[in-house]
Structure 1
């Protein structure tokens, strides 16, 4: 022990033990985080490209957003398992905004401003909005995305690769939709991608059911890693003529036509005039709001999926996302959010800490710098098999059974959220699910604004009605309360009991006062008891 001054003590043995504990914990989780990061990398790679394509943005902008979301946001984030990157939910906003502002460079100024707005959201602690999302909508979002992943990957699994790999909206850029794409895929299938998909799916299932719990090596060398490398080997051998097997370029991952940074200009700064353009600020606010809502919802969903049930600080996440989007705007990357597809893959394949998200960002960086030729050997059918496993885990039949058993108040918003996501897009599904949940809440408020304790005859022969108001009576309870009071027979007595009430809306106060004033004309006696409100 070293003594400094009179009161300062530094216990080097304690510091040594603490550092040892941190190091031990780091290495304990490293094998899980390392293997999971590679899986997330293989999931993120084509999604980054597909989302950029669907956004009418440079393909490299999607990969740069994935790198920033992994390394930069991953380091700043308080979420241990969330993974950030370009989001399919922003594709329509991005593509239309580029047209409105006139160029990709001008659009980047809106991304910078959106990041500043997001950071302000976090600074002013608006992350509490995450707590307003009901569980039915959160589970509906997870299941809806799971089903949508499966539907979107079926065409790629059977060799119909005309649409972008990352498109998640119902209507696609090639003028097809989710269902017409399935029909066209069935009519235009290719046997070789189907074979790759079947073998890949068999390996993934066998790995998870039989191997992963038998040896530690199988926990590090995950099934998706094996599937991707086998697919790349098959492609290489077929291109060399060593296999009687042909995969067209459409069936393979495509990264910028085989080029990395050579044809992409970083730091595309728009002119200063664009920062005084009103449209830029409108678009920036729209991006900030949508990206923040999507991030908060994904954050909540990721915490629900976390086996350790850790809670992520939403305000810290908004700040991290804001700083990430500021950087995206400066380097020419798509705007980003926390993304549930990558986050759920991260969780499903064993990640323990944020190191997995950070590492996946480094793998993306290494890939575009050095591994473009190797990445271009990966069949989309192999990646489809991985994503379908992720989709199934998000939309297990047991989730539907549990939500149905929870009652219609939970099940209907759950189903509406799923339907909206599949038939429209992620944001629309969430909005319609929230509306359905709100309507049920209003109905509950309408039905439960009071309780009739008893109805009896008093000594004068009048029927005495005893109504106990609920703890909180909002405006929406007015109809049912007044309906009850107006239905009281003449020559009766009513006691309105405030013993449980802590809040009552002004509309209902006025209605009760008016009822008490006019009740004498019907020979109805009205008493307010346990009332602490001086206005009544």
Structure 2
């Protein structure tokens, strides 16, 4: 079995190694940018990427999925570090989140993502995109001081977000602004047909070209007023080798292991990371040219192991990420080796090339995150949701506004509640339908008709006019609640006064009263009376 797997991976090396290099080039700026957006040490983003490549890749059942720090968790990480008062305390929550994900995997909770309405998921992604944009604009124009200090852009609420944003617009650095503006233009150009039509250029990631531009610009502007200040540059420790890297890692503080705030944050990370992972996994399976399907429960276990290690070694929370996974597929990756190669290159680069990363301006990382935010909150998505009608657009919009006004977990809960309202409302109308032809009415009960449909049933029955004929057909109903039968019984009793003839078809009566009077409740009704206390059955022939 081992030889079979080894032969399988070796057979695809010519595809996986180039794909792994491409994923590495995409992942490196994203790992740094997401750490920046999260208000965490920049090294923590790279550590998470390394764990995702070296560990999660082999424990996962997916051949093409890439795991690492995710933009969708930036808000949770930023708020978690602030609430707990330090990154060391936050790492404890990451460890607990990993243990929770392991438990979810063993409990076979891999179908969790299927229970969230797509409108809420899209609303969550759009809200994350808007938050990324508002948080990264100050860095894109060179506003702020030490990114890990108190001047870090960490808005507490919507009002604080925009007031801080307006303040940033009044403190623009020309060099940083030029770097970010041109970087965005480069990334937009790199996604155009002009670049895609050139195979050699199409293989070079746009973010990497943007970073090369930013470094070249700042070097050429050295000594001038356009040079970007040191506090607006990447500030990784000058790591020289694996031993030095190990000495730079941040480790968790277990002193608050019983703190309910830590447990709440861990639960939030576990749920959101699991949902994002399962959604990404589903997308990757659809993109896989070989049409392989990854086991979801095994994926949760793999992510749990990854987050457990990330918390122990000072990394950001890990999820399966669609951007890097898509880059892997587009670059021709075939097996897990591609993800492993990307993790190995991250490890080597941060161990021996960290000092070169400190020449990268924060403005270009902010530009990469601005592009990511735009893709998550595209106006085209909003227009698409609007065209789908209120049942989709309203939960989408409510989720966006709720997340912006509160936080990610509360916002999703509000969005799910709104989405469930529309699901229940749709099921109400689908469960009972009334059709009219002249003075003849047909009331059909479909699927499961519970007591929640009683108000709708009364509304439909009230539309039946006097001197008419009504057929109530329960042939398509798998279950009819006792309260529904009682409501029908009461209507049949009252129908005599309005000279309404009621025919029952495939319907059990609530107390044996429906259809008792053949003149008022249907001359064709037949009753089958059982033993004392047994509920009789009324039918109409044909």
Give the equivalent residue in structure 1 for 2:452: 476
Distance 1:432 1:61 in 2: 31
Q: Does 1:90 align with 2:76?
A: yes
Give the equivalent residue in structure 2 for 1:381: 363
Q: CA deviation at 1:123?
A: 1.7
Q: Does 1:191 align with 2:174?
A: yes
- Measured against aligned partners, the alpha-carbon deviations of 1:437-493 in whole angstroms (never above 9, x if no partner) come to 222222222333322234555xxxxxx532111223344322110222255456655
- Secondary structure of the structure 2 residue equivalent to 1:378: coil
Q: Structure 2: state its 5+ residue gaps.
A: 510-533, 538-542
Conserved 8 A contact 2:106-2:301: yes
- Given the two structures, how large is their TM-score scaled by the length of structure 1? 0.77
Q: CA deviation at 1:108?
A: 5.2
Give the equivalent residue in structure 1 for 2:140: 157
Q: Does 1:47 align with 2:34?
A: yes
Give the equivalent residue in structure 1 for 2:101: 118
Distance 1:507 1:211 in 2: 66
Instruction: Choose which of 106, 128, 144 in structure 1 pairs with 2:111.
Output: 128
Give the equivalent residue in structure 2 for 1:460: none
Conserved 8 A contact 2:468-2:499: yes
1:292-311 paired onto structure 2 within 5 Å: 292-300=274-282
Q: CA deviation at 1:355?
A: 5.2
Distance 2:183 2:331 in 1: 16
Give the equivalent residue in structure 2 for 1:372: 354
1:388-407 paired onto structure 2 within 5 Å: 388-407=370-389
The 1:166/1:205 distance shift into structure 2, 3 A limit, reads farther
Distance 1:374 1:165 in 2: 20
C-alpha RMSD over aligned residues: 4.2
- Measured against aligned partners, the alpha-carbon deviations of 1:395-443 in whole angstroms (never above 9, x if no partner) come to 3333333322222222222233333344444334433332222222222
Give the equivalent residue in structure 2 for 1:249: 230
Give the equivalent residue in structure 1 for 2:401: 419
Q: Structure 1: state its 5+ residue gaps.
A: 1-9, 458-463
Conserved 8 A contact 1:201-1:386: yes
Distance 1:276 1:155 in 2: 37
The 1:250/1:345 distance shift into structure 2, 3 A limit, reads farther
Give the equivalent residue in structure 2 for 1:146: 129
- Secondary structure of the structure 1 residue equivalent to 2:110: helix
Distance 2:495 2:208 in 1: 77
Conserved 8 A contact 1:51-1:166: no
Conserved 8 A contact 1:344-1:390: no
The 1:108/1:178 distance shift into structure 2, 3 A limit, reads closer
Distance 1:228 1:316 in 2: 36
Q: CA deviation at 1:134?
A: 2.2
Conserved 8 A contact 2:34-2:369: no
Q: CA deviation at 1:269?
A: 7.6
1:67-466 paired onto structure 2 within 5 Å: 67-79=50-62, 80-85=64-69, 87-91=73-77, 94-95=80-81, 98=84, 111-162=94-145, 172=155, 177-209=160-192, 212-236=195-219, 238=221, 241=223, 245-255=226-236, 261=245, 264=248, 270=254, 284-285=266-267, 287-300=269-282, 312-338=294-320, 357-455=339-437, 464-466=440-442
